[in-house]
Structure 1
Amino acid sequence: MSSHVSAIPAAPSAQALAHFEQAFAFETDCWDVHDAFSRGVQDFVLLDVRSHELYQRGHLPGALSLPHGKITEGKMAAYPKDTLFVVYCAGPHCNGAHRGAVRLARLGRPVKLMIGGLTGWIDEGFEVERAPEVEREGAPAVAAP
């Protein structure tokens, strides 16, 4: 008798190694982004691809607001072609970051997805920024730890 976990055998080690190493070409995580910013190493542009309204309610420090549906060649023209973009959305329950990554890749731009999104960032205990007008108005904001 086997479980659902073992019913399909694991890939051979060499194949698993290739798969997992390749994942790093497509994604990064909250800790790596936080570490880069904490050390002042900003060799990528961090894009919050949710709506501007959600961005104002709470976003990662250093992130720019650019909803995935607004990613166009015209908006990307301000950046050198080899600029690395890191995209994130609300979290694992949201595919906005994938949509943003697809748009950037279609434009020939280097892109990585930050796994975990805003939810993962908060789960790691990292600070969230809010737009000053949101705090003044008393609008609901994303809860920081």
Structure 2
Amino acid sequence: MSIVSAIPAAGSAEALTHFNASLRFETDCADVRAALAGSEPPGFVLLDVRGPALYAAGHVPGAVNLPHGKIVASKLAAYPAETLFVTYCAGPHCNGATRGAIRLAQLGRPVKVMIGGLTGWLDEGFELAVEEAG
């Protein structure tokens, strides 16, 4: 018996519930890119929760920079209460997206995390936007 099969898989009904629930909390880079490139409004605000210097060096096109430590109610006042936010950070080795999602949830805002972050975006072969030096 392998280490993979030593613990039995969940039953189909339990697995379906689990995996459906996971999509309520996360999305992926390909889905974000497709939504941003579509002819309809994407239905969310993409937040790059890294610092301004990292954002300027390269970010997902269309993302707004709001470092996770600066997510407060006053910074969100321009967005209707039902606005869905999608957070991302550097990648799987970084917990900034989760920290940002926690802050948004504490403020009563709908939120998902873009799994993979910037690393995942680049792994998919997607381009970054770079801020021009002023």
Q: TM-score range by the shorter chain?
A: over 0.9
Q: Report matched runs for 1:71-82 at 5 Å.
A: 71-82=71-82
**What is aligned with 2:5?**
6
Q: Specify the alignment match of 1:120 in structure 2.
A: 120
Other-structure match for 1:89: 89
5 Å matches for 1:39-54?
Answer: 39-40=38-39, 41-54=41-54
* Cα separation, 2, equivalents of 1:5 and 1:72: 43
With the length of structure 2 as denominator, give the TM-score of the two structures.
Answer: 0.96
How many positions carry a matched residue from both structures?
133
TM normalised by structure 1 equals 0.89
The one-letter amino acid paired with 2:85 is F
Q: What residue is the counterpart of 1:24 in the other structure?
A: 23
Cα separation, 1, equivalents of 2:107 and 2:4 = 39
State percent identity of aligned pairs.
65
Runs of 4+ in structure 1 displaced over 4 angstroms?
Answer: none
List gaps (5 residues or longer) in structure 1.
137-145
Shift in Å, 1:3 = 1.5
Q: How far apart are the structure 2 equivalents of 1:84 and 1:61?
A: 18
Structure 2 partner of 1:59 = 59
Give 1:143's aligned residue: none
Structure 1 residues 29-88: Cα deviation after superposition (integer angstroms, max 9, x where no partner): 000110011113321100000111110111000000000000001111111000000000
CA distance in 1, matches of 2:47, 2:36: 14
Corresponding residue of 1:141 = none
Find the counterpart in structure 2 of residue 139 from structure 1. Answer: none
Q: Which has the higher helix share?
A: 1
Measured after TM superposition, the shift of residue 17 of structure 1 is 0.5
Does 1:35 find its partner at 2:34? yes
Distance 1:3 1:55 in 2: 43
Structure 2: any 5+ residue segments left out of the alignment? none
- Alpha-carbon shift at residue 128 of structure 1 (Å): 0.2
Judge which range, 3-12 or 99-108, deviates more: 3-12
Report the Cα distance in structure 2 between the residues aligned to 1:99 and 1:52, rounded to whole angstroms. Answer: 17
Question: The residue matched to 1:46 in structure 2 has which SS?
Answer: strand
